[in-house]
């Protein structure tokens, strides 16, 4: 299947021309991001919390302390929503109401599953670590048994998924075109700055190569 | 009051040293951001949607089409959560499990109020427009009556509010310090690129001055 099937809950109703169900495009948004906003409901109150994630195929992985309120809530087979948003630009229109944002966002609905299989748990932590930078897991110390026990890993299947995107110039109504007001798009990029090595790194250790962060722009390439 | 009073719902339990209730600091995070993630529950399913916002004193304003599913859900006096997250850096540790993110986030719990007073509605749209760039409202065409009718504005009071922040180097356990692995922080900035003017802007209109976007870095100042 090259697309996720829309359901009555993921069928985009407003601005349907912005809807995306294409699997490759949705993967690409999820792989470019590194922070999601996880939504869950406790005693009728929704909570939205920023949290790291990783993707392996059609699974999103989240992790947190085994004693955290959020992780315990998420692991209880409740309905959750995971949203990943990338911002591409500020859209300045000639009229106040047409101001907009160029963006790409993915919304995943479903239930989280507590990962208990030790092999899958390690694989999930590998994904989560490599979401920081490709190959990072392979160069750092792996979790020991007590660390594995202290962390809970949750898997959210990519089943009920939609994306929404906006790109391009402002959509002013024709008569506004003649107004003497600048209109256009200011592109927004995420920039990775100069890595600041920890003071205790032993001499001789090679500094982090910023070019590994392919999702970002760097000081030298803008 | 210089701080928001924590409630049992906003009392930070994990990593309480990261908790912030200070009003000035919370305002500053909200004023630096321009996209929030709004969480609300429909038929037991939480939804998390990225949306623009503006702040005036202790009110957050959101807006959307009067016929949007989300706006109608939010306006029905349901419990919602508004979260604003700013990312400051990727924290690379020597061990997989200590990787982290430097961030500042604000979580607002409450109920949205549909703004019906015409004066407050205009003031809210002014805040929302000026969240793009200071002074933008003053230079664009204001909404006419049909535009005002087509947009719904919601107010969320800043009452039950908390923030959480992390900054600084990785928190590796002492014995890991001697590992031959680079550790440190890669700062993450939001960069505003060169404004791309719309093709239909009349000749003679002054281009947008990127320096108005004080929350961002610009190509010339990194």
pLDDT of the residue at A220 = 64
The two structure tokens encoding residue A163: 């994306």
**Which chain B residues touch A101 with a CB distance below 8 Å?**
34-35, 52
Q: Is the pLDDT of residue A192 over 70?
A: yes
Same domain, B52 and B135: yes
From the CA of B205, how many Å to the nearest CA of chain A? 6
- Confidence at B170, pLDDT banded by 50, 70, 90: very high
- Confidence at B222, pLDDT banded by 50, 70, 90: low
**Is residue A219 one of the residues assigned to a domain?**
no
Beta bridge partners of B81: B39, B109
Query: Counting Cβ atoms within 10 Å, is residue A146 exposed (0-12), middle (13-18) or buried (19+)?
Result: exposed
Q: Give the largest CA-CA distance in chain B.
A: 67
Please report where in the chains the tokens 């809530």 appear, as a residue.
A73
- Confidence at B221, pLDDT banded by 50, 70, 90: low
* Distances, alpha carbon A86 to alpha carbons A37, A145, A193, A210, in Å: 12, 35, 19, 20
Q: How far is the C-alpha of B148 from the C-alpha of B118, rounded, in Å?
A: 9
**Is residue B9 one of the residues assigned to a domain?**
no
Q: Of all residues in chain A, what percent carry a pLDDT higher than 70?
A: 98
**Least CA distance to A187: which residue of chain B?**
B193
Q: Into how many domains does chain A fold? A: 1
From the CA of B10, how many Å to the nearest CA of chain A? 10
Rg of chain A on CA atoms, in Å: 20
Spell out the residues 6+ positions from residue A117 whose beta carbon is closer than 8 angstroms to its own: none
Task: Kindly determine whether residue B85 and residue A14, on different chains, have CB atoms separated by under 8 Å.
Answer: no
Q: Is the pLDDT of residue B220 over 70?
A: no
In 3-state terms, what secondary structure has residue B113? strand
Q: Is the pLDDT of residue A1 over 70?
A: no
From the CA of B88, how many Å to the nearest CA of chain A? 10
Same domain, B219 and B150: no
CATH code for position A145: 2.30.110.10
**Which chain B residues touch A184 with a CB distance below 8 Å?**
195-198, 201, 208
Q: How far is the C-alpha of A73 from the C-alpha of A68, rounded, in Å?
A: 9
Q: Residue B62 in contact with residue B73, Cβ under 8 Å?
A: no
Please report where in the chains the tokens 């429909």 appear, as a residue.
B42
Task: Kindly determine whether residue B85 and residue A37, on different chains, have CB atoms separated by under 8 Å.
Answer: yes
Task: Kindly determine whether residue A206 and residue B182, on different chains, have CB atoms separated by under 8 Å.
Answer: yes
pLDDT of the residue at A222 = 54
- Confidence at B12, pLDDT banded by 50, 70, 90: confident
ipTM: 0.95
Q: How far is the C-alpha of A186 from the C-alpha of B214, rounded, in Å?
A: 13
**Is residue A196 one of the residues assigned to a domain?**
no
Higher pLDDT, A70 or A159: A159
Render pLDDT for A4-42 as a digit per residue (tens, 0 to 9). 999 988 888 778 888 889 999 999 999 999 999 999 999
Q: How far is the C-alpha of A216 from the C-alpha of B141, rounded, in Å?
A: 35
**Is residue B179 one of the residues assigned to a domain?**
no
**Is residue A159 one of the residues assigned to a domain?**
yes
**Is residue A170 one of the residues assigned to a domain?**
yes
Same domain, B104 and B42: yes
Q: Residue A212 in contact with residue B205, Cβ under 8 Å?
A: no
Same domain, B216 and B145: no
**Is residue B54 one of the residues assigned to a domain?**
yes
**Is residue B10 one of the residues assigned to a domain?**
no
Q: Can you list the positions of beta strands (E) in chain A?
A: 19-20, 35-42, 45-52, 54-56, 59-65, 79-92, 100-111, 113-114, 151-157, 160-166, 184-192, 196-197, 217-218
Task: Kindly determine whether residue A141 and residue B96, on different chains, have CB atoms separated by under 8 Å.
Answer: yes
Angle at A163 between CA A160 and CA A164, to 5 degrees: 145
Q: How far is the C-alpha of A80 from the C-alpha of A75, rounded, in Å?
A: 10
Number of other CB atoms surrounding residue B222 within 10 Å: 15
Sheet of A59-65: strand order equals A54-56, A59-65, A151-157, A113-114
Q: Residue A189 in contact with residue A217, Cβ under 8 Å?
A: yes
From the CA of B84, how many Å to the nearest CA of chain A? 9
**Residue range(s) defining the domain that contains residue A24:** 16-188
Q: Is the pLDDT of residue B23 over 60?
A: yes
């Amino acid at each position: 299947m090259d697309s996720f099937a829309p359901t009555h809950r993921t069928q985009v109703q407003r601005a349907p021309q912005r809807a995306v169900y294409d699997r490759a495009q949705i993967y690409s948004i999820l792989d470019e991001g590194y922070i999601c906003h996880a939504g869950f409901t406790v005693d009728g109150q929704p909570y939205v919390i920023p949290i790291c994630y990783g993707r392996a195929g059609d699974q999103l992985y989240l992790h947190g302390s085994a004693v955290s309120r959020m992780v315990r809530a998420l692991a209880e087979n409740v309905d959750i929503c995971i949203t990943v948003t990338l911002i591409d630009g500020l859209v300045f229109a000639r009229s106040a109401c047409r101001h907009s944002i160029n963006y790409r966002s993915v919304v995943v609905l479903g239930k989280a599953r507590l990962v208990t299989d030790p092999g899958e748990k390690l694989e999930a932590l590998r994904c989560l670590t490599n979401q920081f930078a490709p190959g990072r897991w392979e160069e750092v110390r792996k979790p020991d048994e007590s660390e594995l026990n202290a962390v809970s890993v949750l898997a959210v299947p990519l089943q009920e998924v939609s994306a929404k995107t906006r790109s391009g110039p402002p959509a002013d109504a024709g008569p506004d075109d003649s107004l003497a007001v600048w209109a256009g798009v200011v592109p927004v990029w995420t920039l990775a700055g100069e890595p600041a090595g920890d003071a205790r790194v032993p001499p001789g250790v090679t500094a982090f190569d910023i070019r590994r962060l392919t999702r970002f722009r760097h000081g030298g390439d803008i």
